[in-house]
Structure 1
Amino acid sequence: MPDGVVLTRVDDRALAALSDAVSPAGILAVCRSIDVPLGEALVGGFVAVCADVNDPGNAGTVIRCADAAGAGGVVLAGRAVDLHNPKTIRASAGSAFHLPVAVEPDARAAVLAAKSAGFRVLATTATGRVDLFDAAPLLQQPVAWLFGNEAHGLDPDLLALADDEVAIPIRGRAESLNLSTAAALCLYESARARR
């Protein structure tokens, strides 16, 4: 046991009362906040900026995908879900603890900070002029992927700040993709282009 860590054993009833999980894993911890200042998440060759993403499963999965793809960080911007929501943390599968994640209540400020840090902001839209599978030349430079709300997409004022709009081609009859699936595709295309 590391120095300074206090271990307290509790019975199953107390553990259930302390956890929001239906079937607690058997251990709980009180930890410091894990979010970092905005500048610390805007690093590396590509990052994810989630604007007004309010589903904790989606937010956590984007963090997990960003980590797996090798992104420099993630920003939860605007009216995004709480990073510390237990469902967000669980969906990140541990990635929230080792990938820089910033929380910025002002989505516009997050996008402008990404631009100031040297990132080209690419918004994902159904009608984007750039096809994701033709975007490799854009993805070889530092990119901040801008993902919008699950139900409403990106706010038009925020979309106007993007340098380009990228569309993920849908070859079948599906109307759209889930936010975290779309993010995974975009993040891995960035990783592939920079390889």
Structure 2
Amino acid sequence: MLTNPRADRVKAVRALSRRSSRERAGRFVAEGPQSVREAVRYAPADVVDLYADPAAATRHADLLAEARAHGIRVHPASSDVLAAMTETPTHQGLLAVCHIPGPGPDPLGEILASGPRVLAFLTHVRDPGNAGTVIRAADAAGVDAVLLSEGSVDVHAPKVVRSTAGSLFHLPVVTGLPVPATLDRLRDHGIHTLAADGAGSTLLPDADLRGPHAWVFGNEAWGLPPEVRARCDDVVRVPILGRAESLNLATAATVCLYASSGVGVVTSSPGSSVQFPGD
């Protein structure tokens, strides 16, 4: 059992909380039973090591057995070691170190070739919780892939990974995309682009969601700049029916993505709309 919180192995895992260390090592950390379970179940080839303290090893014996069946190395560790490996004030006793999947020569092209129906495109989204929550909502709503522009938060940062609650391992996530070129490429493949913005002239219940389309979401503080809205096929706002001034990015994105799934129901009243971030 690993018992020394100052051991080199422990320091190496803790260092993965920094982006520079993740990029050098090509690895990231998934914390907690939900994220670890989804990593083991859906991306076992990417799981390098799994660490469990005694309480978690007893509570999640089935998960550890599944990991071992996949050939994943399971390391018993003390609770102090798990605490030293993570940046969270209280850990849940389970942690997996995973490979950052290497992108193919054209990951967006692979997604477009698959004939997606709905995509989510996050442009310059900086908040880890928002990015992770949108990935989780996209997974729940059956979205085909999540795209992130250059300048957005690192999806393998610990707070993003935790916020996805395992959804990071369920659907394709492509990062580092240039916004104008990506919008043009989506349109060239017959994918209707919908800017989610409070300045939109189209209410969400009236938006055309029948064919392949991509929702485009902006930065939490300044939203979508005019040149990006102008490049999209439509600008859509969500009705606000009560007295709330606005919805945050993750909530607004969830409403839009569920509308695309056909499950969400959005009604409107004259003159009411969601004010998206930046408006």
Is 1:17 the counterpart of 2:89? The answer is no
Q: Name 2:241's counterpart in structure 1.
A: 171
Q: Aligned to 2:155, which of 62, 83, 94?
A: 83
Task: Give the residue type in structure 2 aligned to 1:14.
Answer: V
Could you tell me the TM-score, scaled by structure 2's length? 0.64
Which residue matches 1:161? 231
Distance 1:48 1:117, change over 3 A: same
Q: Which has the higher contact order (CA 8 A, sep 6+)?
A: 1
Tell me the TM-score normalised to structure 1 length: 0.90
Aligned residue identity for 1:144:
A
Partner of 1:51: 123
Q: Which of the residues 191, 194, 211 maps onto 1:141?
A: 211
**How many Å separate the matches in 1 of 2:110 and 2:218?**
21
Of the two, which has the highest radius of gyration? 2
Q: Give a deviation string over 1:104-125, Cα, whole Å, max 9, x none.
A: 2422233223223321000011
Q: 2:184 is aligned with what amino acid?
A: L
How many residue pairs get matched? 192
TM superposition shift of 1:56: 0.8
Other-structure match for 2:199: 127
Instruction: Tell me the residue number matched to 2:100.
Output: 33
State whether residues 111 and 121 of structure 1, in contact with CA within 8 Å, keep that contact through their aligned partners in structure 2: yes
2:164 match? 92
Query: Hey, what does 1:180 align to over in structure 2?
Result: 250
Q: Unpaired segments of 5 or more residues in structure 2?
A: 1-67, 264-279
Structure 1, 74-83 or 103-112: larger mean CA deviation: 103-112
SS at 1:83's partner residue? Answer: coil
Shift of 1:35: 7.3
RMSD of aligned alpha carbons: 1.9
Q: Identity across aligned pairs (percent)?
A: 46
> CA, structure 1 residues 117+32, in 2 after alignment: closer, same or farther (shift >3 Å)?
farther
Residue of structure 2 in register with 1:2 after alignment: 69
Contact 1:76 1:103 (8 Å CA) reproduced: yes
